[in-house]
Structure 1
Amino acid sequence: MDKTRILTRLLCAVGLCTLISAVSALESSPILLIPGFGGSQLDEKNGNYDYCNTGGNYKRVWYDLFLWRTRICSKDLQLRYDKSSNTYQNKTGIEVRVPGFGETKTVEYSAKFTVFSVKSYMNNLVQHFAKYGYERGISIRAAPYDWRLAADELDRTGYFKQVKGLIEEMRKANGQRVTIVAHSMGGLVSHYFLTGYSGIDQDWKKKHIKAWITLGTPWGGAVETIQTVLANERTASDWWKVLVPYGRTFESTAWLLPKPSLFGDKVLVETNSRKYTANDYEKLFDRINYEDGYAMFKGTQQIDSVTYPNVQTYCYYGKNLQTPERLTYKFGIINSLHKKIKGEEEDPIKNVKPKITHGDGDGTVNIDSLRVYNTEWSDRKGFESKEFDSADHKGILSDTAVLEDIAKIVGARCCGNIEQLEQLLEALN
């Protein structure tokens, strides 16, 4: 076959694929993305620090490619907790907003400016569905939120009213019911929307929602969250140092702690002097002078995460990856004697990076937490759970098997002539 004929066939095949993808997008369920903790960019105004104070204009705080700038400005992200009303406010004078509601760009990357996919988050997922003919801002959209807050506070700020309006807009514009794809804490947030938000009912869900897909959602919390709560500048992991100690003021941090109902009397933290379980948060937080910690935790336990949403539900998550299961903060004998002699602080939690005992999970969330509803919802109509071997907590967003499963659920069809195209390209070369 001469190259002219090959090129002609190639162009026809490309045109056919483009047409198939376009038609597929029209017939497929539009996708609404709900990101997880830290997955939405945040802007602030009236910052308390010279670099952050821009004279009344908003400035991107989360996330800046230059880590030192994020460390400086993230101090303004800390929240003030009112124990009497169980509510949260920004620091006095500080305004925080979430940019890009309805768009995908602020959840595709964690940072405003990206270089060679640095700080990529949901970009691979969005790009994957673009191949099926999905269009950003039309058939695939996102509902970023202030991830410092748990669902009850998001409700109070009007976030779920915005989500409802966005879904109705997508349903009308695309002519198909919407599929919600939620990652990590986004699964908890979207669960509240489907079960706890008073602005929708079952008839609304039947009309507007095709399916709800959660990816790596920590239904019962995660042991790793305890490490972030206990961390200080000396003991924090590199990424969390950006938010130490201000991350303790976030309602979401308390929300993601391991739940006593799941972890029970299992030892989660051990020191030279005692052991702590999920039933011992009050004593543990007193030890580190985390005054509001226990009240914040108790407040988040009032948020329902058990009710079945009565929509087609898919819980996907990874397994067989080393995941923090127990944190051991201990001084060695020599180290302990040395500190006594010098009269230094002897509490190892404040001075020692923990020894981490690992168990099964997705690298971040423990397997029992990921599997909670395999039993609770197993007999419910329309529920399906699926485990993906070695798909880590963030990597599940770009896992090919996961993305192909989502494509089947939303009814996306790609061009069937990919192999022919590859053969034709090879012949041209």
Structure 2
Amino acid sequence: MASSVPSLLLLLTAFLVNAASGASPVLIIPGTGGNRLEAKLSSRENTAHFYCSKNADWYDLWLDVKQLVPGAIDCWCENIQLNYDSSTSTFSNQQGVETRVPCYGDVCGIEYLDMSVKAGDSAYFHAMIEAFADKGYVRGETIVSAPYDFRYSAVSNKDNYVNATMALAEQLYEQTGEKVLWISHSMGGLWSHYILSNADQAWKDKYIEAWVPIAPAYGGTAQEMRLFASGDSEGIPLVSGKTVRNEQRSYESNFWLLPNLELWDSDETIITKGDQTWTAHDLPQFFEDISYADGAQIYKTLPYDLKDPNIKTYVKYGAGKDTPTSYVYGKDWDTIDKTVNGDGDGTVNIRSLEAGIAKGWKNTEHEKFDGEDHQSVLKNDSLLKELLELAGV
């Protein structure tokens, strides 16, 4: 009887492998802050506090929640913040900081963000990856990801990310003989749109089965203007927006997530302070008024065209959640007196999620998941089932 156990295991393994054969391999592009980022410190100078490390071998800069507690977060902000050189319009790490993105071509950088906390928002893509694994997909082989340094945008294209990701899709196709199901989340939708809308049609026809943008921030968000004005502590206990404001302003990618002028009208006020108002069309002046002169220069380098990607696209997104559309500030940029909400997924405004409708993209389907927010939609059972069906399993 005992000798039959290995045979049963072999049969089970064969079943799982056969279940995934003939199905599309899966490539996932995560959102901003949606993958791990490692750092190495060497002879850091002028740190925020005497206790901030000046030397450290490779460690998780993002995410390690222990670095986000009051006091420690000041060291973290310094280490992850970018420098901007206005004379060359380029971004770089702080002095003494080296960074790298782990797990490219695998899923170990997106399944859990904090490897010591495998629950909640840290379990970012775990439910989706596990759903595919249950059908015979193999992590790092038939389901992979293309993580990136989320501080940068497509303008910098750090690490030649565009070509690397296209090569990864080609590799999946060559290894499996099947076209790729390309899945993205949040800002990963911007990266995916940038890549796919600029790729040759023949390349897309050969390598890509379909694209599934989940909660795509196609046209940015209104709350991004608040991030630049007052910072966004994102609910971290005892941490103010002011603490993280300079760090957040330094990300090139945060400019990419500002409200897109193709979706926001010139008479729509997003920020009010006293008798002054700013719309998405006032952004260069807005940066001057919040005392961030470099912002105006950076913003001008980031035009973004919401052209039709011309590929079979299935947009999936949460809706019916209060989502900021405008803010009224009090006596200073640290005090918000009023937040006006509209529809969306709690983070991305509905017009941004549905940009494909507004722009008349062909070959594109949209599906709302009412009551799901920007993160929870990734774990929605109905959505996971649909993804499996789209992959052919």
Place the TM-score, normalised by the shorter chain, in its bin.
0.7 to 0.9
Say if 2:76 is the partner of 1:73: yes
> More helix by proportion, 1 or 2?
1
Runs of 4+ residues over 6 Å off in structure 1: 14-18
Matches within 5 A, 1:208-287: 208-232=207-231, 236-239=233-236, 241=241, 243-264=244-265, 265-287=267-289
Shift in CA distance, 117/279, structure 1 to aligned 2, threshold 3 Å: closer
Residues 78/322 of structure 1: CA separation in 2 closer, same or farther (3 Å cut): same
CA shift for structure 1 position 309: 2.3
- Matches for 1:189-204 after TM superposition, within 5 Å: 189-196=191-198, 201-204=200-203
Cα displacement (A) at 1:244:
2.8
What amino acid sits opposite 2:318 in the alignment?
G
Q: Structure 1 residue 62 and structure 2 residue 62: aligned?
A: yes
How far the C-alpha of 1:310 sits from its partner, in A, is: 2.5
Map of 1:403 onto structure 2? 384
Offset of residue 19 of structure 1: 5.2
1:26 aligns with 2:21: yes
- After TM superposition, the score normalised by the length of structure 2 is 0.88
Aligned residue for 2:34? 39
Find the aligned partners of 1:36 and 1:404 in 2 and give their Cα distance: 21
Alpha-carbon deviation of 1:348?
A: 2.2
Distance 1:395 1:71, change over 3 A: farther
> Pick from 353, 357, 360: which aligns with 2:336?
353
Q: Given residue 122 of structure 2, which amino acid in structure 1 is its aligned partner? A: K
What pairs up with 1:72-221 in 2 under 5 angstroms?
A: 72-116=75-119, 119-154=122-157, 156-196=158-198, 201-221=200-220
Instruction: Mark the runs of 5 or more structure 2 residues left unpaired by the alignment.
Output: none
Q: Does 1:383 align with 2:384?
A: no
Q: In 2 relative to 1, CA 309–158 (structure 1 residues): closer, same or farther, beyond 3 Å?
A: same
Contact 1:231 1:245 survives alignment (8 Å): no
Q: Which residue of 1 aligns with 2:374?
A: 393
The answer as to whether partners of 2:308 and 2:356 remain within 8 angstroms in 1 is no
Answer yes or no: is the 8 Å Cα contact 2:222–2:270 preserved in 1.
Answer: yes
Q: Identity of paired residues, percent? A: 32
The whole-number CA distance in structure 2 between the counterparts of 1:118 and 1:276 is: 33
Q: Which has the larger radius of gyration?
A: 1
* SS in structure 2 of the partner of residue 58 of structure 1: strand
Q: Contact between 1:104 and 1:141, CA under 8 Å: does it hold in 2?
A: yes
Deviation at 1:53, TM superposition (A): 3.5
SS in 1 for 2:110: helix
Count of residue pairs the alignment pairs up = 375
Cα deviation code 1:309-365 (max 9, x no counterpart):
2221112111111101111112xxxxxxxxxxxxxxxx4223x13421111001100
Q: CA deviation at 1:237?
A: 4.3
- Assess, with a 3 A threshold, how the Cα gap between structure 1 residues 116 and 258 changes in structure 2: closer, same or farther: closer
Instruction: Give me the whole-angstrom Cα distance separating, in 2, the residues matched to 1:325 and 1:63.
Output: 29
Normalising by structure 1, we get a TM-score of: 0.81
Query: What value does the CA root-mean-square deviation take over the aligned residues?
Result: 2.5
Q: 5+ residue gaps in structure 1?
A: 1-7, 331-346, 413-429
Identify which range, 109-118 or 399-408, moves more after superposition: 109-118
Q: Deviations over 1:265-302 (max 9, x none)?
A: 2111112222221122233222221111122222112x
Q: For residue 374 of structure 1, what is the aligned residue in structure 2?
A: 357
Contact 1:45 1:53 in 2 (8 A): no
Structure 1 residue 126: deviation in Å?
Answer: 0.7
Give the superposition deviation at 1:111: 1.3
**Which whole-Å CA distance do the structure 2 matches of 1:313 and 1:409 have between them?**
11
- Residue 335 of structure 1 corresponds to none
Query: Larger relative contact order (C-alpha < 8 A, sep ≥ 6)?
Result: 1
- More divergent stretch after superposition (317-326 vs 242-251): 242-251
Q: For structure 1, which segment, 307-316 or 178-187, has the greater mean C-alpha deviation from structure 2 after superposition?
A: 307-316
Contact 1:178 1:208 in 2 (8 A): yes
**Greater strand content:** 2
